[in-house]
Amino acid sequence: MNNNLIFCYGSLKQGYHNHEVISFDFDTHSKNKGYDYLGKAKTVDKFVMYDMGSFPAISFDENGKQVSGELYAVDDATFDLLDTLEGYPEHYNRKLVKLDVDEDIEAWIYFYDPESVDDTMEVLTIQSDVYEWEY
């Protein structure tokens, strides 16, 4: 059952290098039936986004910007794979956040704790009020 809502804002989005973790079943070497793409969304909470090279990282910041991304419903096995990819809880943390969509929806988002951010991390500079990561 695909009952875990996940908000993806970086390399897990369609067309990016980590999307196969969601879309491909590595056991059967076929399309993963353990996910549903639910559409585009953006966060209600505000973040700072960091350019980490081939992927972004975000950290909660009330003076930051909303983040645009994709919403998925995934099964427990896919959720476990995502936790492994994101290095949860040692590398990234995750939390339920509200999304700015037609319904009142909360989804899991992977983020850096503010204590994990250091001076070497480059803040993504954009002109928009909403971060939309592109590589």
d(CA 78, CA 37): 13
* Residue 129: Cβ-neighbour burial (10 angstroms; 0-12, 13-18, 19+): exposed
Contact 39, 70 (CB under 8 A): yes
Q: Is 122 noted as a catalytic residue in this protein?
A: no
Structure tokens at 76: 């427990």
Contact 53, 38 (CB under 8 A): no
Catalytic residue among 62, 70, 86, 134: 86
d(CA 107, CA 43): 9
Q: How many CB atoms lie within 10 A of CB 116?
A: 14
- By annotation, the residues acting in catalysis are 86
